[in-house]
Every structure is written in C-alpha cells, then in structure tokens.
C-alpha cells in the first residue's frame, strides 16, 4: 500500500526467527516446526500478516502430523491456503499474498507425482510465486489494505505477494545450501 508496513512487519518476523534459532534448535518434526513458527509469528510479527501467516502455518502443520513425505507437503500448502481464505476472506486474484502462495501451491501439486524431486519442484513453485507477485501489479485489489486505495495509485506489485514469494525463495535457498 506504499506505507512500508509490510516490509517492517516481515523484517520483525525475520529478526524474531533469527533470535529463536540462536536460542534453541528448531523442532525436527515438520508439524512441530510449523506450529512453533506459527506461535512465534502470531506473537512477534504483528499486523494482519502475522495473523495470516500464523493461521497458514497452523493449518499447514496438520497434514504433517502423521507423515512428512513429499505429497504431505503439497497437502500442507493447500491446507494453509484454505485457512487463509477461510479466515482472511481473500481469494486468488484479489491482489494479496494469497496470489503468490496459490501459484506456488499449484506448482507444488507435482510433489504428489511418483518420483517427484523436491528441489526442482520447489524451484518451479518459487518461480511461479514470483511471477504471480509481479502479476499483481496490474490487478484490481479485491481484499487487503490495497482495496482501500484507488487502483490508479497502485503502481507496484502487491507488497504481501512479493514478501510471500521472498519467503518461499528463502526456503528454497536454505534447502539448496
């Protein structure tokens, strides 16, 4: 929306995660990791983004309770998006972070295919998220803070969509290193 709030909120989250990782090793079990991150972001991130990421991660943890194979990660992404849609009220095409996450989720469905390889699929998902974030530049805002602003003033991609794609890029780069 142009006021810098999205960047400040995500920076606060990044600092909180860094401090958390320095203080203790993260849980090894995927569901517990996502649940712990959800709690951390709900407490430290602030803003509607913190709530939405918290909801996303809490829901995403559920499919990972019983298994953590590659198809379960695709299910986790879908569960997180469904929670965001249910509680946040946005849908793909509304010019929000959901646009990036939804595009990534569509690419992650390839994880359900036999013989799928995580890093190539995740790389495609990140590229899809980044392209979807850029596409928000020409979208009419249907939800979120940008929906209160005249479309003529929205000249940049949605900050939340760009940030969500950036988070996914960071996950990919972390797994690659």
CATH code of the domain containing 144: 1.25.40.340
User: Measured between alpha carbons, how far is 103 from 118 in angstroms, rounded to an integer?
Assistant: 17
Domain interval for residue 46: 5-176
Q: How many CB atoms lie within 10 A of CB 147?
A: 16
- Do residues 95 and 125 lie in contact, with contact meaning Cβ atoms separated by under 8 Å? no
Q: 94, 101, 97, 102: which is closest to 148 by C-alpha?
A: 94
Q: Over the stretch 131-166, which tens digit does the pLDDT of each residue have?
A: 999 998 876 655 555 544 555 455 678 888 999 999
pLDDT at 74 (0 to 100): 97
DSSP result, 95-156: SSHHHHHHHHHHHHGGGGSTT--HHHHHHHHHHHHHHHHHHGGGSPP-SSGGGGS-GGG--S
Element (H, E) at 26: none
Tell me the percentage of the chain whose pLDDT exceeds 90.
73
Stretch 91-116: mean pLDDT, rounded?
Answer: 94
Residue 42's φ and ψ, nearest 5 degrees, are -60, -35
User: What's the total number of domains in the chain?
Assistant: 1
- In sequence order, what are the residues at sequence separation of 6 or more whose Cβ sits closer than 8 angstroms to the Cβ of residue 151? 140, 141
Choice between 87 and 139, residue whose per-residue pLDDT is larger: 87
Stretch 61-78: mean pLDDT, rounded?
Answer: 97
Q: Over the stretch 16-47, which tens digit does the pLDDT of each residue have?
A: 999 999 999 999 999 999 999 999 999 999 88
User: Measured between alpha carbons, how far is 126 from 104 in angstroms, rounded to an integer?
Assistant: 6
User: Measured between alpha carbons, how far is 98 from 84 in angstroms, rounded to an integer?
Assistant: 8
User: Measured between alpha carbons, how far is 44 from 6 in angstroms, rounded to an integer?
Assistant: 14
- Do residues 90 and 82 lie in contact, with contact meaning Cβ atoms separated by under 8 Å? no
CA angle 107, 112, 29 (to 5 degrees): 95
- Do residues 110 and 121 lie in contact, with contact meaning Cβ atoms separated by under 8 Å? yes
């Amino acid at each position: 929306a142009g006021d810098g709030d999205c960047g400040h909120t995500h920076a606060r989250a990044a600092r909180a995660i860094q401090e958390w990782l320095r203080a203790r090793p993260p849980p090894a079990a995927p569901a517990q990791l996502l649940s712990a991150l959800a709690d951390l972001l709900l407490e430290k991130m602030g803003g509607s983004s913190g709530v939405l990421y918290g909801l996303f991660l809490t829901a995403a943890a559920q499919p990972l309770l019983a298994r953590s194979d590659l198809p379960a990660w695709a299910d986790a992404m879908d569960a997180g998006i469904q929670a965001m849609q249910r509680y946040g009220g946005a849908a793909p095409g509304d010019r929000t972070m959901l646009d990036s996450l939804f595009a990534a989720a569509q690419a992650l469905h390839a994880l359900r295919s036999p013989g799928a390889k995580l890093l190539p699929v995740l790389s495609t998902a990140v590229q899809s998220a980044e392209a979807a974030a850029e596409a928000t530049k020409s979208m009419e805002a249907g939800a979120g803070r940008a929906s209160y602003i005249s479309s003529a003033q929205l000249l940049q991609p949605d900050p939340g969509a760009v940030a969500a794609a950036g988070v996914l890029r960071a996950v990919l780069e972390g797994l690659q290193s």
